[in-house]
Structure 1
Amino acid sequence: MSGKRSAGLLVYRRTGDGTEVLIGHMGGPFWARREAAAWSMPKGEYEDDERPKDAARREFSEELGLTPPEGPWIPLGEHRQRGGKTVTAWAVEGELDPADAVFGTFRMEWPRGSGIQRDFPELDRVAWVSAEEAEKRLVAGQRIFLDRLGLHISDAG
């Protein structure tokens, strides 16, 4: 495999005001004071022996502690991010309550150079936001998936 690969799932719902997506604010000290470009769809890395779709399902469950909504998964394709990681994404229409999320954690040395290992949530909060708001909040490399979802929804009528 060349380069890191990640897979994610973008849950969306239709409201009277348009489309909303469920995104999460990235946890840990690097993102604590940021809002713009500090949110992500639930996603994570996978190895050669795992199918991307299975990884997207697993990461959704690990990061949110929730089962992905039932329904057809819409392929949103791949996108290579600036750092070289390739992200493969799907969307599924569904309804979840952000208050039900139980966030997975990761461990890292903090403060750097201290030798102290601490646990941080992978995501520290999730929210339903309009597609327009998500455009501001999502990390730049994931915004293309909003565009692709918008195309799918407009094509589906």
Structure 2
Amino acid sequence: MSKKSAGILLYKHEAGRILVLLVHPGGPFWNNRDLGAWSIPKGEYGPDEQPEAAARREVHEETGIAVTGRLTSLGEERQKGGKLVAAYASESDFDIDRLRSNSFDMEWPPRSGRTQSFPEVDRAGWFTLADARAKINPAQRPFLDRLEALCPKDSEP
């Protein structure tokens, strides 16, 4: 059975446009990657947890944002590695300077015998839909399209 992940695409309206919050994965593998590397805040969940609850938990762990309001489903998409991602949308005005992420440990450099700690998310940013389409993991682009369909009154310049 493939792994399942859930997350929330946070958005806000600014100057007649939709801005979305994307996060950049931490750790040395992602250090010099940009286009296609960003993601919605998300994480894995097991069979005993509901995807919406997992999405709220993961967003809090990766960003420090406690999403308490209503979530709108954006459906599911399968990523290149086979993981099925369920996404939700929620409006937010999160200040990215307040980003607070949990961390993970890994051996680094490889085969060195040393363990280092890295943030799960090393930065976050608010992006227009056009910029987000370039930055986000390609398998997650349909979530941007679905959000845009939910907010038709906004437009990109």
Q: TM-score, normalised by structure 2?
A: 0.93
Which of 73, 94, 107 is the matching residue for 2:71? 73
Give the superposition deviation at 1:118. 1.3
Identity within the alignment, %: 45
Instruction: Write the distance in 2 (CA, Å) between the matches of 1:115 and 1:4.
Output: 29
**Structure 1 unaligned spans of 5+:** none
Q: 1:7-46 counterparts in 2 under 5 A?
A: 7-46=6-45
Match of 2:98? 100
Give the superposition deviation at 1:66. 2.1
Contact 1:5 1:85 in 2 (8 A): yes
1:120 maps to amino acid: F
Instruction: Write the distance in 1 (CA, Å) between the matches of 2:153 and 2:119.
Output: 37
Match of 1:61? 60
Instruction: Write the distance in 1 (CA, Å) between the matches of 2:105 and 2:16.
Output: 39
Q: TM-score, normalised by structure 1?
A: 0.93
Match of 2:86? 88
CA 1:76–1:155 in 2, change beyond 3 Å: closer, same or farther? farther
2:55 maps to amino acid: A
Give the superposition deviation at 1:155. 8.1
The alignment partner of 2:8 has SS state of: strand
Contact 1:73 1:90 in 2 (8 A): yes
The alignment partner of 2:149 has SS state of: helix
The alignment partner of 2:53 has SS state of: helix
Give the superposition deviation at 1:100. 1.0
2:82 maps to amino acid: G
1:99 maps to amino acid: D
Match of 1:5? 4
Which of 114, 117, 120 is the matching residue for 2:118? 120
**Structure 2 unaligned spans of 5+:** none
